[in-house]
Structure 1
Amino acid sequence: MAPLVGVGGLAAFSTMRTGSNIALQGLNTITNPLIPDLMRFLQQRDQARCESVFGAVWIIVVALMAPAVVVLQAVIEPLYVVWTRGHIAFNPWLFALLSLSVLVFAVVQPATTIVVGNNLLKPQLLLSTLAALSVVGGIYLFVPRIGIVGAGVALLGAEMITSAGYKTVAQRWMHQHGMKWPNSSFLVAVTSISIAAVAMVLMIVFPLAKWPIVAISLLLFSVNTWRYWQVLPAIAVQHILRLASKFLWRRATLPV
C-alpha cells in the first residue's frame, strides 16, 4: 500500500488501526474462553447450549461494542491529535470503516469457530484466498481514487465477504448435523452494526449534530438490546448472567 499512499498515508493508516487492534484483543480475551464450550456443545449436538454461547458473544456486540464505537467516533479526534501531537491528520471516514470492520469480525466469531473447530479446510482455504484477493484488489481499485480511505473500504469489504462465507458454511454444517443457526438473535446483532454504521456516517456528514446523533443512537441501541434479550432462549440468558457474575467477581477480587 505504501507505493499508493506514501509513507505519510501508511503511517496514518497504521496509527488509526491501533484502536481496532486493541478492540480485537479485548474481544478475543472475552470470547476465546467460550470456544471450548461451543465445540463441546456442537459435538453433543446440544442446540440450546450452543445458542447460549452464541448469545454470550453477540451480547458483547449488541450491548457493548456497537455503542462504544459510536461514542468513540464522537470523541476520538481531539484525543488522536493529542496522541500524535498533531503530526498525523485524523481521517474520520477511515476510523469509522476500521471500527465497522471490527464489529463485522466480532459478529461472525461463532461461525468462524464452527468452521475452524471442525477442520473444514476447503472452505477456510477458499475464504482466505477470497479475502486476500478482495483486500489487494480493493486497495488497487480504491486507494488511487480516494486515498487511505480506500484501504478501509477494501478491508471492510473483504471482512463482509468472508463473514458471509463463514456464516453460510457454518449454517450449512449445523443443518447437516440436525441443528439450526439462531437467525433471530443474529439479525438483532446485525441490526446493532447497522445502527452504528448509520450513526457514524451521520456524525461525519453533520459534525455539529454529533451529540444528538449519539444520544439517538444510544436510545436505539438500548431498544435493540432489549429486543435481543427477548429473543434469547432461557438457557442463554442464564449462561450470560453466569458469565457476567464470574467476570464481576474476578474484577472485585483483583488486588488493588
Structure 2
Amino acid sequence: MSTMHWGYLDAGNLAGIYYEQSQLDMAILHYKQAINCDSTFIEAYNNLSCFALQPNHPQALSSLGSIYMDCNMMSVPASFYKATLAVTTGISAPFNNLAIIYKQQTAADGLVNRGNTFKEIGRVTEAIQDYIRVVNIIPTMPEAHANLASAYKDRVFEYPVKLLYSSQNELSFLHFFFFPSIHIQPWKHGYTLLMTLGFVDIVGNGLSTPTFFYVHPHCLSEKVPIFIMNGATFNAYYAVGFIMMWWLALVASPTMVLIVISSIMYGHKLMELARKMWRM
C-alpha cells in the first residue's frame, strides 16, 4: 500500500477525531489535507460540505449516498441514506434510493440462490445466465463474480472432449470474471480455482510471489502447437513405461526367481535345523 494511500486515511481519521472533539477548524484543515493526498476521497468532500452548511446536514449525507450509488458501491450508500433519515424524514430521495438498493439486493440474492440450485442439479448453463444477471445488477458483488467463474470452470471440465477443441473461449471468460472478484475482495476460493485451472502466473501476480512450479497447457498453447505438446506428452509416458518394463525384467523378476529357488533348495534344511534347536 502506498504512502499516499496511508496519508489520506490518516488525515481523514485525524479530522474525524477533531470533529468529535468539536474542533471544527482543525477538522476542516485535515479534511483538506486528505483531499490533497487523494482527490477522489469523497467522504472528505462530503464532510467539508457538512461543515459549510451544518454538521450532519441531511442534504449532504443524501448527496454522498448518491455519489456512492453512482459508483455502483451499493453496500455503502444505504448507511448514508439511513443517516439522512435519522436527521430528518422530510427528504424523499433517501426513501426512494433505499428502496432501489433493497430491491436490487433482493433480486440479486434471489438470482444467486437460483443459480446455485441450477448448478447443484447440473444445469450449469442456466446457472451461468443467472450469475451474469447478478453481475449486471451489482457489478461490485464479489460472490457473483466468483460464482460465475466457478460455473464456467464446471462447464469446462464437464465436457473433456469439448475442452480439447473449444476451451479457449471458456477459459478466457473464466479469466475475465475472476479478476473482478479478486480485485474487489481477495477471495481464497477465487485464487484456488485459478490455481486449479493452471493460471499460476496470474495468481502469483495477485499474491506478489513468484510461482514457477506448474504451467497449464492453456498457458503454453499460445506459443507451442497443441499437437507438439500431445506428442511430447505421449513420448514421455512411453519412455517411463519402457523404463519400468526393463526394470521389472532385469531387476525385479530375477530377484523373485532367486528367492523362490533358495526357498525350495534350503527351506527343508532350515526347518530341520529349527526343530533341533527347539528340542534342545
Q: Could you say which structure has the higher helix fraction? A: 1
Of the two, which has the highest radius of gyration?
Answer: 2
Query: Into which bin does the TM-score normalised by the smaller protein fall?
Result: under 0.3
What is the TM-score normalised by the length of structure 2? Answer: 0.24
What is the TM-score normalised by the length of structure 1? Answer: 0.26
* Greater RCO (Cα-Cα under 8 Å, separation 6 or more): 1
